[in-house]
Amino acid sequence: MDNLRDPLSVTLVTESRLTSTDFNDLGFGNHFSDHMFSMEFENGAWRNPSIIPYGPIAMEPGTGALHYSQSVFEGLKAFRGSDDQIRVFRPDMNARRMARSCERLCIPVIDPALFIEAVRAIVRTDQDWIPGKRGQALYVRPIVFGVEPHLEVRPASRYRFLIMTSPVRTYYGDEITPVALHVQQHYTRASPGGVGEAKTGGNYAASLLPGERARDQGFNQALWLDGIEHKYVEEVGQMNIFFRFGDTVVTPALRGTILPGVTRDSVITLLRDQGFAVEERRLAVDEVLEGSRSGTLREVFGAGTAAVIAPVGRICLGGTTYEINNNEPGELTGALYNKITSIQYGETNDPHGWNMLVPAGKAAAAAE
């Protein structure tokens, strides 16, 4: 492990939980694999990189992150191709994003090269947990948080970085069923100058209540509008969002309140490769609804690691529900889903070099 200053220590479980895990009923994030990567920040440096059994960690009740939410996380996936090759999708993007999130939350940055090595080490160690079926994957969840017990409001002096993994199906199930979105006109997810573009738990805590309201009314998720005028579309909260008007695809521009998704970036790149015009700009929700009324709005889809691409079939604002493409997955939506997943499972070439290959063979894990 060239990028880790200290050598990687490896403690493997004595008994794997693999055989007692039902891979036909995975859900999303319900099962955790045998091991986790762990590292600690103390006296100015990240130390003790190790692979240890997944399990409870000791924390004092005064742990800063529990009180003041000084924590950030990431989410990426490892895939097992039909060629049995293991691929991790664009870990460099997650590494850089985590560094930016850490800066915003005053958390000592983890060098992107070290982050990538750590992902490689844990995926390699728990490679038997990567499901073999198409549509399934090993979700990789890095998290970093302040562990120093203190009640004063200030950055912690000590931190913990963990990477756990979880075998998953795609977020919305095996079939591509369109999701229904409820335009949130009262609550907001993020505001300019806040932490909306950082992947931090507080954004999710703020989204729970409106999300529950949306579900109570029969919708899958809230569609967030900007925090100032409640007029412009932002994102879905776990996904970025795209609108196809005619043959132009529009997605809200990154202005500090939207999470810069890896899937978002992949979609934009692939669309431009195929000659589609992609506009990253402000998009008023009125323009979306007008497009729905006039028929120029052909497809809407969300993009995020968990769901990959999720078609949006209905958007509800106030009391009115607007149906998109007869509540069926659109043609471009399906093509993008197929294109991205084909790259992830190694079924097509990878023109942009997005996949990181993880060597099989886990002897002494990735300690080499």
Ligand X SMILES: *Cc1c(COP(=O)(O)O)cnc(C)c1O
Query: Number of helices (H) and strands (E), helices first, in the chain?
Result: 7, 17
Q: Which is nearer to ligand X, 51 or 250 (CB)?
A: 250
Q: How far is the CB of 38 from ligand X (least distance, A)?
A: 22
Q: How far is the CB of 302 from ligand X (least distance, A)?
A: 8
Cα angle: 100, vertex 104, 107; to 5 degrees: 85
Helix, strand, coil percentages for the chain (3-state, nearest 5)? 25, 30, 45
Cα separation, 364 vs 10, in Å, equals 7
The least CB distance from residue 12 to ligand X, in Å, is 30
Single-letter amino acid code for the residue at 135: G
Q: How far is the CB of 193 from ligand X (least distance, A)?
A: 17
The burial class, CB within 10 Å (0-12 / 13-18 / 19+), for 71 is buried
How far apart CA 8 and CA 4 sit, in angstroms, is: 7
**Helix ranges restricted to H, 9-131:** 64-68, 91-104, 112-125
Residue 139 or 345 having the CB closest to ligand X: 139
**CA-CA distances (angstroms) from residue 154 to 74, 94, 101, 149?**
23, 26, 17, 11
| Closest CB to ligand X among residues 52, 87 | 87
Residue 306 C-beta: closest distance to ligand X, Å: 7
**Closer residue to ligand X in complex, CB, 49/311:** 311
Q: Which is nearer to ligand X, 51 or 105 (CB)?
A: 105
- Judged by the rule CB under 6 A, the positions of this chain that interact with ligand X are 75, 199, 203, 235, 237-240, 259, 261-264, 304-305
- Which CB atom, from 155 or from 260, has the smaller least distance to ligand X? 260
Cα(262)–Cα(88) distance, integer angstroms: 13
Q: What angle do CA 337, 340, 343 make, to 5 degrees?
A: 140
Q: Which residue, 235 or 287, has its beta carbon nearer to ligand X?
A: 235
Report, in Å, the least distance between residue 262 CB and ligand X.
3
Q: Minimum CB separation from ligand X for residue 128, in Å?
A: 25
DSSP type of residue 183: E
